Structure 1
Amino acid sequence: MKSPATTSFPTRCGRVLRLLGHLAIGVFIVATRYSRLAQAERAVVTRRWAQHALKILGVSIKVQGVNPGFYPPNTLLVANHVSWLDIAVLNSCTVSRFVAKREIRNWPLIGWLAYVAGTLFIDRGNRRDASRINQILADAMGNGGCMAVFPESTTSDGSGLLPFKASLFEAALLSGGTVQPVSLRYQRPDGSLLLEAAYIGQISLFESIGRVLSVPQIEVEICYGQPLRAGDAGLDNRFLLAEQARREVARGLRIALEDSPQPNSSSEEKSQA
């Protein structure tokens, strides 16, 4: 079987230089005027920056389903998690503020950028922290915000779908908002799954970036599933919301899920401990 084509060394160097320049522009905008912009203006800046970053990396977007809008109010976007590219991919179509693990806040430069951009950081080892984040999420959504979470709580290679943690779905119930499932599939132009995009295992961030830079063309299929109105019949608790959202994401990924009994609150709390 023929090995997939890779980019040349000069092409990779060119991408790195352009990406660093683009990152510098982002830092300048955030440091000088981002905090003074209205939310709608921030969304425009964020989407443009994300779209150009993906263009530099040779990433194209293929949209399936109905995009809920540029910055849909009172919405909780939930997606499967494959790569550090996921945030730029989602923001290139539907701009959101994200919830991320606390450790990212300490990453050089990236942690600061994420913080200024409005990312909420959660301590996944502390069950009580979910209640604090849920209230912040609910307040932000209730004030017209679009928030995004990766309920698998870790990354996968994109060939399957891990169980969803239900805790942060409580925010949608508190705000009376909409849960928007989104499926992300990284693939080659011929439609075959692209494993090089996955940021998993013991691979470092720099190694992952190197793998992405080596791929000539990356296509990301974004599939927007059926919106779920929190509180509707059959969606009136966070476990039901999480399960139905997972089924919608799996459908977009063309993955068949085995039927399993609904979790209860005590079993989930043990799994998150």
Structure 2
Amino acid sequence: MKSSAITPVSTRCGRVLRLLGHLAVGVFIVATRYSRLAQAERAVVTRRWAQQALKILGVSIKVQGVNPGFYPPNTLLVANHVSWLDIAALNSCTVSRFVAKREIRKWPLLGWLAYVAGTLFIDRGNRRDASRVNQILADAMKNGGCMAVFPEATTSDGSGLLPFKASLFEAALLAGGTVQPVSLRYQRPDGTLLLEAAYIGELSLLQSLGQVLRVPQIEVEISYGQPLKAGDAGLDNRFLLADAARREVARGLGLALEETPPPAVPAAEETRT
């Protein structure tokens, strides 16, 4: 049953003011010293900032499964995509550099913050751009990085799971890395699904923020699935990896997927060395 409780206006205003102050702190850190920090130090700063942002918004985290670590090396984190809150939620537990659609780079302030923090931007309308991003992802993973992608390539309301785009799973194969599936479920404290957190359709960022602020308490259930070693038997091409990862994410969400035959590998890939 959906709760009718709404955050008081005074509390919402207070959260907005605190959030603006927190953003200002983030801008100051990024502009003055973030680029000079070692990667481990950046991860600490990022996690603390994400945890505080969630606290300001009244968002708590509930973890299921085994967290692969603070900044697991040579790892590709893959998760379902519901909200702009996803990045803060994931970074509050496992810090990653993200891949995002290039339109986000144009967002006022937030786009700049994402860029300086190491986000990679991809032109989803250009298939050839995936090759460029895959190589950057693979190089970063080989150098001990933890990268993250949302393979649905868009947001949903969280009640289901969209098909996964397989293209960026190639990076895990190039790096010989691990794919870590993660499920994100936004809910109320009683466990019922929270649709207000979804950033979908024609909703603007400000409208979405308004919806989030109206909810007194938000819980994000983060479920870590079974890690998948790229290149292992049954996981030796990006389509098989994407299918296995999607099934792990669905399992974490409590969703049953229809049984489908193993995805076919395009003829051009059968000769790839």
- Shorter-chain TM-score: what band? over 0.9
Return the TM-score normalized by structure 2.
Answer: 0.96
Q: Which residue of 2 aligns with 1:214?
A: 214
Question: What is the distance in 1 between the residues matched to 2:93 and 2:201?
Answer: 28
C-alpha RMSD of the superposition: 1.2
Q: Would you say 1:17 and 2:17 are equivalent positions?
A: yes
Matched, 1:124 2:131: no
Q: CA deviation at 1:262?
A: 3.4
- Determine what percentage of the aligned residue pairs are the same residue: 87
Q: Cα distance 1:227–1:208, how it changes in 2: closer, same or farther (>3 A)? A: same
Aligned to 1:32: 32
Change (3 A) 1:33 1:252: same
Say whether residues 1:6 and 2:6 are aligned partners: yes
Answer yes or no: is the 8 Å Cα contact 2:18–2:56 preserved in 1: yes
Q: Cα distance, 1:233 vs. partner?
A: 0.5
Q: How many residues are treated as equivalent by the alignment?
A: 267
Partner residue of 2:50?
A: 50
Inter-partner Cα distance in structure 2 for 1:27 and 1:208:
22
Residue 200 of structure 1 is matched in structure 2 by 200
Whichever residue aligns with residue 101 of structure 1, its letter is K
Runs (5+) with no aligned partner, structure 2: 268-273
- Partners of 2:262 and 2:164 in 1: how far apart? 12
Correspondence 1:99-248 to 2 at 5 A: 99-248=99-248
**CA drift at 1:260:** 2.1
Tell me if structure 1 keeps the 8 A contact 2:2–2:192.
Answer: no
Query: Which residue identity is paired with 1:246?
Result: R
Q: 1:25 deviation in Å?
A: 0.2
Rate the CA distance shift 1:33–1:163 in 2: closer, same or farther, 3 A: same
The TM-score, its normalising length taken from structure 1, stands at 0.96
Partner Cα distance (1:146, 1:241) in 2: 17
CA distance in structure 2 between the partners assigned to 1:261 and 1:232 by the alignment: 18
For residue 2 of structure 1, report the CA deviation from its aligned partner.
7.2
Kindly state the Cα deviation for residue 122 of structure 1 after the two structures are TM-superposed: 0.2
DSSP-derived class of the 2:63 partner: strand
User: Over residues 147-205 of structure 1, what are the superposed CA-to-partner deviations in whole Å (9 max), with x where a residue is unaligned?
Assistant: 00000000000000000000000000000000000000000000000000000011111
The structural deviation recorded for 1:3 is: 4.8
Q: For the residues of structure 2 that align with 1:149 and 1:27, how far apart are their CA atoms?
A: 24
Amino acid at match of 1:135: Q
How far apart are the structure 1 equivalents of 2:120 and 2:188?
A: 32
Q: 1:263 Cα shift?
A: 3.4
Alpha-carbon deviation of 1:259? Answer: 1.3
Offset of 1:265 from its aligned partner?
Answer: 5.0
